[in-house]
Structure 1
């Protein structure tokens, strides 16, 4: 495509990781940066988002899911299963991911991903800014960044039931996503290891 060589953008954002890889080449390599959120928190939030914004809406109504409890949703194994491992390894349709997929996901992260943690937004955005030389003297830009970092996320979905570590909901979700749970722990390790790159 020649996208990278044309210097038309500093950042390409895509949810299609493997499909967007051909945009780059050996002379203009892409670098993945991402904000990791704890898998259980992410899936609880995704459930409530989908229930409120998709399954209960008239145009996308789903009678089975519109009023299902979050616990029953995960008891029936209707939630995502190791989504981050699947995404990184391009195994979205594989019935079950395994230890080899997990190891490959870790290696991809180690080699390709600048890790940010939603639990440490300030430090994560500071690293992204430094890595990609994003800075601005425009007060409006700086105010916008401060709002995103310091204020609550405005799109956070209200949760009727929280998944607290050790409770039944937590155990259901984490049990169905053991590789994503391990990958998140590895992301925290990488976050600490990458700290030296920004000192």
Structure 2
């Protein structure tokens, strides 16, 4: 279900209707939601958002050294971020593209931004990478995961517990930071201006959803009494 052909295959096989999968991971949330689910078989979408400039900077440095990746780019080592930002790229406004259902080859515009915002507002439990612990607390509530169970508690501690100073963060890629307002930041933000707007909207939804998510736990407590 990561890409469109897999989603189409899952639909033909009746994956959602079979109730054999508790979680579905995909890079095509709009397409997956449209193809896999129906009024009798609904789901909840949970998504973790990262500042678009931070994501691109991480990608720039990661693919310079990631020899194991199919998209390894050793030639980027000889480029500055500003030079890299000027290259043609299908990765521009990645979040708007994915949430509006556009393909990489298709341009995106303000209308797609509106569609992406509505998709977030109506369908997504929003998480932020800068608020990982709180985000996964909400995801657990939305999925009705009991974090007091031993296996679940160990999982939470492994990812969010106290770590040794040199142990690092899972799936992290250490690289120089780009400061907001710098030439590098401005170059990437200009090319991904729709994603910048969408990310600001996601931050707003993150704040607005807290009360809604917390009401789930209050309601659950009342039902248990």
TM-score of the superposition, structure 1-length normalised? Answer: 0.86
Structure 1 SS opposite 2:159: helix
CA contact (8 A) 1:24 1:30 kept: yes
Structure 1 SS opposite 2:46: strand
From 6, 28, 37, the equivalent of 1:16 is 28
Q: Relative contact order: is structure 1 or structure 2 higher (C-alpha 8 Å, sep ≥ 6)?
A: 1
From 78, 98, 117, the equivalent of 1:67 is 78
Say if 1:60 and 1:97 are closer, same or farther in 2 by CA, change over 3 A.
Answer: closer
Distance (whole Å) between structure 2 residues aligned to residue 79 and residue 184 of structure 1:
19
Aligned to 2:6: none
Deviation at 1:66, TM superposition (A): 4.5
Say if 1:189 and 1:62 are closer, same or farther in 2 by CA, change over 3 A.
Answer: closer
TM-score of the superposition, structure 2-length normalised? Answer: 0.77
Alignment gaps of 5+ in structure 2: 1-12, 215-225
Aligned residues: 196
From 141, 155, 167, the equivalent of 2:171 is 155
Aligned to 2:62: 49
Say if 1:90 and 1:79 are closer, same or farther in 2 by CA, change over 3 A.
Answer: closer
Distance (whole Å) between structure 2 residues aligned to residue 123 and residue 188 of structure 1:
13
Please tell me whether residue 124 in structure 1 is matched to residue 140 in structure 2: no
Structure 2 SS opposite 1:33: strand
CA contact (8 A) 2:60 2:76 kept: no
RMSD: 2.4
CA contact (8 A) 2:53 2:185 kept: yes
In the TM superposition, 1:92-131 aligns within 5 A as: 92-94=103-105, 96-131=107-142
Distance (whole Å) between structure 1 residues aligned to residue 86 and residue 116 of structure 2:
27
Identify which range, 113-122 or 72-81, moves more after superposition. Answer: 72-81
Structure 2 SS opposite 1:65: helix
Distance (whole Å) between structure 1 residues aligned to residue 99 and residue 69 of structure 2:
34
In the TM superposition, 1:148-187 aligns within 5 A as: 148-150=159-161, 151=163, 152-159=168-175, 161-187=176-202
Say if 1:19 and 1:185 are closer, same or farther in 2 by CA, change over 3 A.
Answer: closer
Deviation at 1:95, TM superposition (A): 5.1
CA contact (8 A) 1:32 1:113 kept: yes
Please tell me whether residue 31 in structure 1 is matched to residue 63 in structure 2: no
